[in-house]
Amino acid sequence: MIDCVLFYSAWCRPKQSKALYTTAVIGLWFLMAFRNIDLGGSDAQVYQEWFHTAVPNLLQFEWNPFVFQREIQDEWGFGWLFTLLASITKTIVPTYEFFQVVYVTLSFGILILIIEDMQLKQQEKGLFLFAYLSQQMIWFFCVLLRQNLANLVVWFVLEHKFKKNALIKKALLLYLATLLHTSAYIAIAAIIALWVIRKLPARKIVPGSLLIGVTVFFAGKRLISYILYFMANYVDTRYSMYLNAAGESSNAINFVLRLCFVVLLYLEFTRNREDGSEKNLYIGVIGFLIGSIPQALVVRMTEYFAIANNYAVAKLRKIFKIKENRAIVASIVLIVFFIVFVRFLNVNADFMRNYKFLF
């Protein structure tokens, strides 16, 4: 229902759209922050066990992140910064319920800050959140907690306009993202690649990336094996668990969706050329290329750049200015995302069908 409200808000007048958008955000925050702590499958049980047995109070916390990574992190795999957040909340109120409320509130605060940074119009904010909620938002906000915060930090780096010492601030924030989840190292490598390809003209990089992406999708099994081997040996030994699954095919539906997002981003760039359109086009290209690697693990890697996909949906009103075309496209988008959302709930988030509050 909230997803439909967000979609509907995009086609209302600004004041109505703002009221519906604000109500939807508050509703989402409440449902996620005050959900039963056992909702989240086996991950929820792991997080609770870690919180109660491994998280110290602030007086016992290891403040040196290098010592923490070398001597403590291997046991649970939880990063220094995420453990610090848990330690602060545990010191204040030693219950996992309180930690969950603080965590979700922090996540929503960063997400809203990012959306404001993107300078979207009011109706576009509803479409952005609609696209995000229809795909991975529940999974990351309620299950993959550590990477969710790392994602949001990377999104902030990609979208925020730093006025002074931009490079230093971005580097510091990206390092903090790695202290939340080690997969952020891959995001850093991809961001370096992003800075390189932004020197190339969009008219050449888009068709080239589509050709490379399709080729890698059908013939990239060996590449992902090498990447996972490197990550397991030099970043985090837990990546070795994915080596045996290196030949698995990533979801073809998601691959086609990412391809469509790149096309929408290119249309938005060529037709409107708004502030941010070129940047998000290149972000979408990087996400598409990473997502072309045929391995299930990359679904989590592409989320670092999925903000561009949500941006593409947010700009539907401007990409298709003729009302008749806009109505057709809007209907198609609503149907497609409804199918994606229902499939996601049935395959990855069946725990939400048995929703309960924590009180």
The secondary structure of 110-131 as a DSSP string is: HHHHHHHHTT--HHHHHHHHHH
pLDDT at 84: 95
- Residue 132 token pair: 């995000």
Report the alpha-carbon distance of residue 143 to residue 47 in Å, rounded: 9
pLDDT at 327: 76
Contact criterion met (CB below 8 Å) for 236 and 77: yes
Contact criterion met (CB below 8 Å) for 157 and 174: yes
Closest CA to 144 of 73, 217, 82: 82
For residue 305, count CB atoms less than 10 angstroms from its CB and return exposed for 0-12, middle for 13-18, buried for 19 or more. Answer: buried
Contact criterion met (CB below 8 Å) for 312 and 293: no
- Tally of residues, the chain: 359
pLDDT (tens, 9 = 90+) of the chain, 359 residues, equals 788 888 888 888 889 999 999 999 999 999 999 999 988 778 889 999 999 999 999 999 999 998 888 888 877 888 999 999 999 999 999 999 999 999 999 999 999 999 999 989 999 999 999 999 988 888 888 888 888 999 999 999 999 988 888 889 999 999 999 999 988 888 888 888 888 888 888 888 888 888 888 887 776 666 666 666 776 776 666 666 655 554 444 567 778 888 889 999 998 888 877 777 888 999 999 988 888 877 666 667 888 999 999 999 998 888 887 666 667 877 888 888 888 887 777 766 666 677 788 87
Cβ count near 134 (within 10 Å): 24
Give the distance from CA 344 to its chain's centroid. Answer: 15
Report the alpha-carbon distance of residue 188 to residue 290 in Å, rounded: 13
Helices 252-271, 323-347: axis angle to 10 degrees equals 150
Report the alpha-carbon distance of residue 115 to residue 278 in Å, rounded: 17
The residues, any chain, with a CB within 8 Å of residue 14's CB and separated by 6 or more, are 121, 122, 123
Contact criterion met (CB below 8 Å) for 312 and 268: yes
3-class secondary structure, 35: strand
Contact criterion met (CB below 8 Å) for 97 and 358: yes
For residue 300, count CB atoms less than 10 angstroms from its CB and return exposed for 0-12, middle for 13-18, buried for 19 or more. Answer: middle
Closest CA to 300 of 132, 136, 129, 73: 136
Q: In the chain, which residue ranges form alpha helices assigned H by DSSP?
A: 2-9, 14-33, 41-53, 65-71, 73-76, 80-92, 96-117, 122-135, 137-142, 145-159, 166-178, 184-197, 202-219, 221-234, 252-271, 277-291, 298-302, 307-314, 316-319, 323-347
